[in-house]
Structure 1
Amino acid sequence: MRTSNMFVRSLGVHVPESVSVEHAVREGWYPAEEAERYRQLGAAVAGDMPAPEMARLAVLDAYDRWDESAPRDLDLLLYPSVWHQGPNGWQPQHYLQQHLLGGHVPAFEIRSGCVGMISSLELAAGYLRADDARETAMVVSADNHGTPLVDRWRMTPGALIGDAAAAMILGKEYGMAELLSVNVAVIPEADAVNDGAYPLFPPDATVGRGLSFSDRHEEFRQKLLEKQGTGIHLTIQKTMMQQVEQTLDEAGIELGDITRVAFPHGRREDLDGQMSWLGIEEDQTTWDYGRRVGHCGAVDQFIAFEHLLATGGLKAGDHLLMVGFGSGTSVAAAAFRVLSPRPVTKETRA
């Protein structure tokens, strides 16, 4: 979707301190041979801080940077999430309404896996464009995976699981970056990649079954061997390329115009494949940052965006391409043009 007249007002994050791989090896949490093989450096660990509280801090960070408006001025709040947020039957967006927003701002939790932040940009942009009176929308996500059902050091071979939050304020007319285009596609036939042939009922969490993508992916691999291959991985690759090509075409730019590409903070072997598909080099990606904080649910590309702006990795005139993958399976892409490394006001717009 070409997102004309759609801008990033501000971007806020909350990224806890990382626990190093060296420490994890010493404690016996992470095998030393995997540390050497997979080249991960650490994972951000939030301790006992609830995910919605991390989200609240990210929202406050976004508004502190912008310093022109207040959370209660929003027209829409979208809260993508991946892992459990709080009590059963409770929704995290209402926590933000109570402690930040007040009033009757429409607020929804989005459950689209690790593409949740990117897919929510498409929803938020469409919502704002539908009514001239609507000015700003917030997309915020947070996850704390430090629960008994997740082993962040071994859940996914080759990747570490981190905790973090990110909040992006979208608005019309001006901002620190322009959202040029965003697209999301679902590949329903790839659902089996992550379900592990587990029963749908009762849900895993209600019977204390832990989350292990290692087991699920091995189950799927066995299915592939039985069927002599389904070609599903090729389908995922082709769909990703289609999303990237459509997004760049709508944005009016080419891959050569892209300064940096933000992928999920996953396995190095996955990144190698993704770089090969797009024909880019490692220094164009966010690998060096991602392997220090781990895969943090739906916020990877957004905390990397903030890191690039803060460290000079992106400057005015540069373009950022986000590429996302979510279990289900879904693929997403978004293109941004940076106008300023810091938020601007209406009077001092870039």
Structure 2
Amino acid sequence: MRTSNMFVRSLGVFVPDVVSIEQAVRDGRYPAEEVEQFQQIGAAVAGDMPAPEMARRAVLDAYDRWGESSPRNLDLLLYPSVWHQGPNGWQPQHYLQMHLLGGGVPAFEIRSGCVGMISSLQLAASYLQADPDRDTAMVVSADNHGTPLVDRWRMTPGAVIGDAACALVLGKEYGMAELLSVNATTIPEADAVNDGGYPLFPPDATVGRGLSFGDRHEEFRQRLLKERGTGIHLTIQKTMMQQVEQTLEEAGIGLADITRVAFPHGRREDLDGQMSWLGIEIEQTTWDYGRGVGHCGAVDQFIAFEHLVATGGLVPGDHLLMVGFGSGTSVAAAAFRVLATSPVTRPAGTKGHSA
């Protein structure tokens, strides 16, 4: 989807303190023999802070950086989430409406896994483009995985799970970065990669069954051995390349124009495969940052975006490509052109209400 006249007004983050791999080893939570093998550094751990409160702080951070005082004039709020957010039967966007937005802003929770932030950009841009009077949308996501059903240090062999929140303000006419194109798709036949062969009912959380992607991936591997393979991993690779190629073509740029590529924060072996598919080097990725905070749900690429801008890893004129994967299996990509290293206020003469 070519997203003409769509700009990142501001980025806000909340990344809690990191617990180092060394500390996790001392506490008996991470195997010492895997430190050198997998090269993870640590995980951001939010303690008992609820995910919606992390999201609130990220929203405030976005507005503080931007110099705007109130998010109440937003035209849309999308809240993609991955892990459980609060009481059963309750939705996290209402927490932001109660504490920040009021009830006049249309607000929706999005459940599309770890591609939630990228796919929500596609929805938000479409919503703004549908009406000339709509000016500003926010996509915000947060997850705290520190619950009894998750072992953040062992849930995915070769990776660790972190907690974080990010809020992105998307608007027309101006901003610190231009959203050039965004695309998301699903590979329904790859759903079995992550379902673990578990029954759909009763849902895992209602019976206290924990989440272990290591167990699920091993179950899928054993299934493939019995079925002599399905070629699904090749399908995932081809789909990723198709999403990247379409996104770059719509953006009017090539892979050679991309300064940095933000992948999910995960296993180095997965990253090596992704880099080989695109023909890029480790220095072009966000590996060094991601292995220090862990895989933080849907916000990985966006907290890395903020980190790159803040530390000089991206400067005006640079291009950022985001690539996302989610259970389902879903694949997404987005391309940005950096215009400034900090949020900018509305230039004189631009249209739309003040957010």
- Structure 1 residue aligned with 2:92: 92
Structure 1 outlier segments of 4+, above 3 Å: none
Which whole-Å CA distance do the structure 2 matches of 1:243 and 1:69 have between them?
Answer: 37
Superposed displacement of residue 34, structure 1: 1.1
Superposed displacement of residue 346, structure 1: 1.3
Corresponding letter in the other structure for 1:252? G
Corresponding letter in the other structure for 1:154? R
- Structure 1 residue aligned with 2:353: none
Indicate whether 1:243 and 2:251 are aligned.
Answer: no
SS at match of 2:62: helix
Indicate the percent of aligned positions where both proteins have the same amino acid: 85
Corresponding letter in the other structure for 1:314? L
Corresponding letter in the other structure for 2:247? T
- Structure 2 residue aligned with 1:103: 103
Written as runs of structure 1 = structure 2, the 5 A alignment for 1:29-178 is 29-68=29-68, 70-178=70-178
- Structure 1 residue aligned with 2:219: 219
SS at match of 1:73: coil
- Structure 2 residue aligned with 1:26: 26
**Is the alpha carbon distance of 1:62 and 1:123 closer, same or farther for their aligned partners in structure 2, counting shifts above 3 Å?**
same
Which whole-Å CA distance do the structure 2 matches of 1:130 and 1:231 have between them?
Answer: 39
Superposed displacement of residue 259, structure 1: 0.3
Superposed displacement of residue 330, structure 1: 0.3
Indicate whether 1:302 and 2:305 are aligned.
Answer: no
Corresponding letter in the other structure for 2:250? E
User: RMSD of aligned C-alpha atoms?
Assistant: 0.9
Corresponding letter in the other structure for 1:273? G
Which whole-Å CA distance do the structure 2 matches of 1:296 and 1:239 have between them?
Answer: 23
Which sits farther off after the overlay, 15-24 or 61-70?
A: 61-70
Indicate whether 1:210 and 2:206 are aligned.
Answer: no
- Structure 2 residue aligned with 1:254: 254
Number of aligned residue pairs:
349
- Structure 2 residue aligned with 1:313: 313
In 1, are the aligned partners of 2:140 and 2:166 still within 8 Å (CA)? yes
SS at match of 2:128: helix
Residue segments in structure 2 that go unaligned for 5+ positions in a row: 350-355
In 1, are the aligned partners of 2:81 and 2:143 still within 8 Å (CA)? yes
Which whole-Å CA distance do the structure 1 matches of 2:346 and 2:161 have between them?
Answer: 38
SS at match of 1:182: strand
Which whole-Å CA distance do the structure 1 matches of 2:332 and 2:172 have between them?
Answer: 22
Indicate whether 1:280 and 2:289 are aligned.
Answer: no
Superposed displacement of residue 282, structure 1: 0.3
- Deviation string 1:44-66 (CA, Å, 9 cap, x unpaired) is 00000000000000000000000
Corresponding letter in the other structure for 1:7? F
Corresponding letter in the other structure for 1:274? Q
SS at match of 1:166: strand
Corresponding letter in the other structure for 2:129? R
- Structure 2 residue aligned with 1:11: 11
Corresponding letter in the other structure for 1:236? I
TM normalised by structure 1 equals 0.99
Residue segments in structure 1 that go unaligned for 5+ positions in a row: none
- Structure 2 residue aligned with 1:335: 335
TM normalised by structure 2 equals 0.97
SS at match of 1:205: helix
- Deviation string 1:195-239 (CA, Å, 9 cap, x unpaired) is 000010000000000000011000000111011110000000000
Which whole-Å CA distance do the structure 1 matches of 2:103 and 2:158 have between them?
Answer: 45
- Deviation string 1:291-327 (CA, Å, 9 cap, x unpaired) is 0000000000000000000000000000000000000
